[in-house]
């Protein structure tokens, strides 16, 4: 609730002055280190800023939307967008699905040692992405990797996970699911605990079965948590970068794992086409905003 500042004839109250003083470092940091660079990124995307401009800023020229025109005609962008879409639409639902299953198991009154399992499931989430990507790089090895060895027990022929363009993205998705499902699990368990017992009671009296109770009580009550997780996962997965950087040496095979974030990094910091890279960044920005807006709109429509 916004309480009006106490008006004292002229100027700010002591309280308001203190507030601005305390806010100054934080707001300055957000403005200078985040908001100004975002705006500058847009301006940068309208220039031909490259390695020559890095040497001497007089070499920068304003070229309007030409970066965007080049970018939209660049097959690498479309490749990266397709890979990012796979990551998002395969990895997102898979992560939340696994998390929901784990949360339901953990919430069951029949489950033992809940604290232990919760800690174990959450542990991958706090690990360093680069380090576990290195580990998975070897786990996916077709000859001595544990994953193909496990599949062999089921009679499945070895898959060259990271060397085969068809399997490289699914491999990266599996790493993301392994690493992130624990975070969603923790939040979903909290969501399940917040559902009042009386709702289950009522469902039981109405003669609802397990599946109906899940559909009519559990899922709707979890909806806010699921929407939050959907938004967070989308924003995070859109930016995937370290996995292909470490596991597939920057997008191999045949750019089958090139991501938008990786394309931006390579354009900007490897080839020093920073104007072009900024255009890539803005395509990413626009898509993230659009996806977030769509999810929130869908959630609102459902509530109405």
Partner 1 sequence: MSRTARGLVRNAALLVGAALALTPLFWMVSASFMRPGEASGFPPPWLPSRPILGNYRDLFTRLSIGRALANSLILSVGATLGVLLVDSMAGYAFAKLRFRGRDRLFGLLLAALVIPAPVAMLPLFLMLRAAGLVNTYVGAALPSLAGIIGIFLVRQFALSIPDELLEAARLEGASELAIYRRIVLPLLRPVLATLAIITFLATWNDFVWPLVILTDDSRYTLPVALAGLVGEHSADIELMMAGAVLTVLPVLILFLLLQRQYVSGIMIGSVKE
Cβ-based nearer residue to partner 1, 47 or 255:
47
Token pair belonging to 229 = 């997780």
**Binding range to partner 1, per CB under 8 A, among 8-16, 63-71, 75-83, 154-162:** 8-16
- Asked whether position 298 contacts partner 1 by CB under 8 A, the answer is no
Identified binder of partner 1 from the candidate list 217, 242, 252, 299, rule CB under 8 A: 242
Q: How far apart are CA 34 and CA 49, in angstroms?
A: 20
Interface residue with partner 1, options 64, 144, 207, 304 (CB under 8 A): 144
Binds partner 1 by CB under 8 A, chosen from 96, 176, 258, 264: 264
Please report, as residue ranges, which positions from 30 to 49 form the binding site for partner 1 (by CB under 8 A). 30, 32-38, 40-41, 44
Whole-number Å distance between alpha carbons of 113 and 73:
55
CA distances from 270 to 17, 32, 174, 188, 263 (A): 46, 25, 28, 41, 10
Minimum distance, C-beta of residue 198 to partner 1, in the bound complex (Å): 22
x-or-dash pattern for partner 1, window 173-212, by CB under 8 A? -----x---xx--xx--x----------------------
For position 139 contacting partner 1 by CB under 8 A, the verdict is yes
DSSP string, the chain: --PPPPP-SSS--HHHHHHHHHHHHHHHHHIIIIIHHHHHHHHHTTB---HHHHH-GGG--B-TTHHHHHHHT-HHHHHHHHHHHHIIIIIHHHHHHHHHHHHHHHHSTT---HHHHHHHHHHHHHS-HHHHHHHHHHHT-TTT-HHHHHHHHTTPPP--TTTSHHHHHHHHHHHHHHHHHHHHHHHHHHHHHTS-HHHHHHHHHTT--HHHHIIIIIHHHHHHHHHHHHHHHHHHHHT--HHHHHHSTTT-STTTT--HHHHHHIIIIIS--HHHHHHHHHHHHHHHHHHHHHHHHHHHHHH-
Q: 275 is written with which tokens?
A: 């104007």
Q: Does 274 bind partner 1 (CB under 8 A)?
A: yes
Footprint (CB under 8 A) of partner 1, residues 77-96: none
Q: Which of 6, 204, 215, 300 binds partner 1 (CB under 8 A)?
A: 6
Residues 96-135 that bind partner 1 (CB under 8 A): 102, 105-106, 108, 110-113, 116-117, 119-124, 126-132, 134-135
Pick from 8, 22, 65, 201 the residue near partner 1 by CB under 8 A. Answer: 22
Based on the shown chain and the rule CB under 8 A, indicate whether residue 284 belongs to the binding site for partner 1. Answer: yes
Tell the smallest beta-carbon distance from residue 215 to partner 1 (Å): 20
Q: How far is the CB of 134 from partner 1 (least distance, A)?
A: 5
Options 8, 201, 206, 249; binder of partner 1; rule CB under 8 A: 249
Q: Quick one: which segment of 2-10, 79-87, 165-173, 197-205 binds partner 1 (CB under 8 A)?
A: 2-10
Instruction: Choose the binding region for partner 1 from 75-83, 86-94, 159-167, 223-231 (rule: CB under 8 A).
Output: 223-231
């Amino acid at each position: 609730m916004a309480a009006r500042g106490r008006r004292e004839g002229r100027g700010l109250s002591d309280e308001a002055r203190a507030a601005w003083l305390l806010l100054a470092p934080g707001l300055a940091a957000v403005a200078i280190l985040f908001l100004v660079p975002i705006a500058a990124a847009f301006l940068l995307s309208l220039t031909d800023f490259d390695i020559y401009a890095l040497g001497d800023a007089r070499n920068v020229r304003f070229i309007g939307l030409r970066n965007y025109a080049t970018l939209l005609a660049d097959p690498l962008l479309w490749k990266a967008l397709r890979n990012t879409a796979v990551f998002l639409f395969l990895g997102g639902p898979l992560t939340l699905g696994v998390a929901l299953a784990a949360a339901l198991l953990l919430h069951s009154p029949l489950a033992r040692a809940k604290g232990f399992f919760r800690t174990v499931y959450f542990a991958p989430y706090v690990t360093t992405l680069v380090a576990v990507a290195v580990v998975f790089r070897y786990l996916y090895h077709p000859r001595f990797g544990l994953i193909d060895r496990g599949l062999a027990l089921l009679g499945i022929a070895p898959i060259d996970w990271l060397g085969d363009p068809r399997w490289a993205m699914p491999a990266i998705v599996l790493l993301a699911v392994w690493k992130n499902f624990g975070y969603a699990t923790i939040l979903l368990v909290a969501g399940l605990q917040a559902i009042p017992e009386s709702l289950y009671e009522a469902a039981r009296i109405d003669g609802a079965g397990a599946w109906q109770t899940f559909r009519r009580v559990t899922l709707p009550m979890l909806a806010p948590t699921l929407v939050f997780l959907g938004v967070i996962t989308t924003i995070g997965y859109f930016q995937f970068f370290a996995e292909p950087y470490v596991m597939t040496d920057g997008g191999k095979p045949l750019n089958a794992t090139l991501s938008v974030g990786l394309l931006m990094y390579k354009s900007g910091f490897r080839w020093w086409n920073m104007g072009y890279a900024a255009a890539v960044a803005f395509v990413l920005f626009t898509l993230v905003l659009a996806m977030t807006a769509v999810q929130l709109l869908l959630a609102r429509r459902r509530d109405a």
